[in-house]
Chains A and B, each alone.
Chain A
C-alpha cells in the first residue's frame, strides 16, 4: 500500500514565477491538507480539500491556491513567488472525520532565488 506521495522532490524557482506541487493521498483517504514548513519551524497549515472543495484555510494569502481531483489527488499552486516562500511543503491525507490519523508525505523542497 503506497503511502502519501508528493512530486517533485525538489524545485528551484525565481521570484515572480509560479509553481505547482502535487500530492497523491494514501489509499482509502479522501481528504488532503497542505502545510508549509520553513527551516527550523513547525509546519503551518495552508488549507484542506475534501470533495474537491477547499474546506478550511490557514493564514496564507490568495497567491496560494489549490485543487483536488475526483481521484482525491491534489495540487498546490503558488503564484508570484517570493523569497519567503522557500520552504518544505508537506501534504497530509486522512479520511473525512478521522483527522487524527493524518499521514504525511515526504514533502517538496521549494527554493525561490
Chain B
C-alpha cells in the first residue's frame, strides 16, 4: 500500500491561478520534503518541514505541515508556466534515517 498519498494526481490550471497539492500519511512524519521533477529528470529540492504547524515559503510556493504531522499541503500563488512539472512529497519514517519514502507525484500543467 502507498504510504504517502498525494492528491490530486494531476492538475491543469490557467496561468495566474492559485493551486494546492496535498500529501497525506497514515503515520507521523519525522521529516516531510517537497521536490519538483521535470519529466525523466532528477528531483529538485523545494523545502523541508519538520515541526508540526511549520510553514515555509520559497518565491510563490508555500508549504505547510499540519499540527499532527500527518499531512502537508503545497500552495502555488499566481501560477506560471515555469511551475509546470511533477511535484513529489517525500518523508522519513524514522528520524534522520535517510531512507525516504515518496508519494507518486502530482503532475501540474500550467496553460499560458
Bound-state CA distance A85–B102 (Å) is 19
Find A100's partner among B31, B40, B42, B99 (CB 8 Å cutoff).
B31
Q: Is B92 an interface residue (CB 8 A)?
A: yes
Pick from A31, A42, A98: contact of B105, CB under 8 Å: A42
Q: How many residues of A contact B (CB 8 A)?
A: 29
Residue A65 CB within 8 A of the other chain: no
B41–A107 contact, CB under 8 A? yes
Which of A88, A90, A92, A100 has the largest number of chain B CB atoms within 10 A? Answer: A100
The interface of chain A, by Cβ under 8 A from chain B, is 4, 31, 33, 40-45, 48, 55-56, 58, 88, 90, 92, 94, 97-107, 109
Contacting residue for A104 out of B43, B48, B92, B97, CB 8 A: B43
Give the interface size class of chain B.
20 to 34
Interface residues of B (CB under 8 A from A): 4, 31, 33, 35, 40-45, 48, 50, 88, 90, 92, 96-105
B88 touches A42 (CB 8 A): yes
Q: Is the CB of A102 within 8 A of B45?
A: yes
A58-B103 contact in complex given A43-B43, A99-B92, A100-B31, C-beta closer than 8 Å: no
Cβ contact within 8 Å between A31 and B98 = yes
